[in-house]
Structure 1
Amino acid sequence: MKITDIRLGYLSVPLKQPFKTALRTVNSVEDVIVKIETDTGHIGYGEAPPTGVITGDTTGAIIGAVEEHIRKRLIGLDLENFEEILLTLDKSLVHNTSTKAAVDIALYDLYGQMFNAPVYKLLGGYRKEIITDITISVDTPEKMAADSIDAVKLGYTTLKIKVGVDAEQDFRRMKAVREVVGYDVQLRIDANQGWKPKEAVRTLKAMEDSGLQVELVEQPVQAQDIEGLKFVTDQVSIPVMADESVFSPKDALMILHTRAADMINIKLMKCGGIHQALKICAMAEIYDVECMIGCMLEAKVSITAAVHLACAKKIITKIDLDGPVLCREDPVQGGAIFEHSRISLPDTAGLGFEHINGVVWKS
Structure 2
Amino acid sequence: MIIQQIKTFKKAVPLNKPFKTALRTVTVAEAIYVEVTLDNGMKGYGEAPPTHVVTGDSMASIQFAIEEVFAPQLIGQDLRYHDHVFKLLHKAMVRNTSAKAAVDMALYDLLGKAANMPLYQFLGGARSELKTDFTVSVNEPAEMAADAQRYVENGFDVLKIKVGIGSPEDDIRRIQAIRKVVPDDVVLRLDANQGWSAKDAVRIIGRMEDLDLGIELIEQPVPAHDIDGLAYVTNHTLTPIMADESIFSLYDARRIIEGRAADMFNIKLMKAGGIYEALKINALAQSYDMTCMVGSMIETKLGVTAAAHFAASQSNILYYDFDAPLMLKEETVDGGIVYDGSRVTFTDAPGLGIGGIKSCQH
TM range, normalised to the smaller chain? over 0.9
Per-residue deviation at 1:12? 1.0
Q: Could you tell me which amino acid in structure 1 is paired with residue 244 of structure 2?
A: D
Q: Describe the SS at the equivalent of 1:360.
A: coil
Per-residue deviation at 1:115? 1.1
Per-residue deviation at 1:340? 2.3
Are the aligned partners of 1:325 and 1:340 in contact in 2 as well (CA < 8 Å)?
Answer: no
Per-residue deviation at 1:254? 1.0
Aligned pairs for 1:188-337 within 5 A: 188-337=189-338
Distance 1:261 1:335 in 2: 33
Are the aligned partners of 2:7 and 2:67 in contact in 1 as well (CA < 8 Å)?
Answer: no
Other-structure match for 2:106: 106
Other-structure match for 2:88: 88
Q: Tell me the alpha carbon deviations over residues 97-148 of structure 1, each in whole angstroms, 9 at most, x when there is no partner.
A: 0000000000000011111111111111111100000000000000000000
Per-residue deviation at 1:356? 1.4
Q: Could you tell me which amino acid in structure 1 is paired with residue 269 of structure 2?
A: L
Q: Tell me the alpha carbon deviations over residues 141-176 of structure 1, each in whole angstroms, 9 at most, x when there is no partner.
A: 000000000000011010000000022101100000
Instruction: Let me know the Cα RMSD of the aligned residues.
Output: 0.7
Other-structure match for 1:155: 155
Distance 2:129 2:277 in 1: 23
Per-residue deviation at 1:14? 1.1
Other-structure match for 1:171: 172
**Which runs of 4 or more aligned residues in structure 1 lie more than 6 Å from their structure 2 counterparts after TM superposition?**
none
Other-structure match for 1:58: 58
Distance 1:340 1:64 in 2: 37
Q: Tell me the alpha carbon deviations over residues 284-309 of structure 1, each in whole angstroms, 9 at most, x when there is no partner.
A: 11101110001100001111011111
Tell me, which stretches of 5 or more residues in structure 2 are unaligned?
Answer: none
Other-structure match for 1:352: 353
Give me the TM-score of the superposition, normalised by structure 1.
0.98
Q: Describe the SS at the equivalent of 1:37.
A: strand
Other-structure match for 2:43: 43
Q: Describe the SS at the equivalent of 1:308.
A: helix
Tell me, which stretches of 5 or more residues in structure 1 are unaligned?
Answer: none
Q: Describe the SS at the equivalent of 2:127.
A: coil
Give the length in aligned residue pairs.
361
Q: Could you tell me which amino acid in structure 2 is paired with residue 77 of structure 1?
A: Q
Distance 2:194 2:341 in 1: 28
Q: Describe the SS at the equivalent of 1:156.
A: coil
Q: Tell me the alpha carbon deviations over residues 69-102 of structure 1, each in whole angstroms, 9 at most, x when there is no partner.
A: 1000000111111111101001010000000000
Other-structure match for 2:340: 339
Q: Describe the SS at the equivalent of 2:116.
A: coil
Q: Describe the SS at the equivalent of 1:54.
A: coil
Other-structure match for 1:14: 14
Per-residue deviation at 1:233? 0.4
Distance 1:135 1:101 in 2: 23
Q: Describe the SS at the equivalent of 2:194.
A: coil
Are the aligned partners of 1:101 and 1:268 in contact in 2 as well (CA < 8 Å)?
Answer: yes
Distance 1:198 1:27 in 2: 32
Distance 1:298 1:290 in 2: 23
Per-residue deviation at 1:358? 2.4
Distance 1:3 1:316 in 2: 31
Distance 2:275 2:13 in 1: 24
Distance 1:57 1:339 in 2: 32
Other-structure match for 1:136: 136
User: Taking every aligned residue pair, what percent have the same amino acid on both sides?
Assistant: 50
Other-structure match for 1:116: 116
Distance 2:154 2:193 in 1: 26
Give me the TM-score of the superposition, normalised by structure 2.
0.99
Distance 1:340 1:165 in 2: 29
Q: Tell me the alpha carbon deviations over residues 263-286 of structure 1, each in whole angstroms, 9 at most, x when there is no partner.
A: 100000000000001001111111
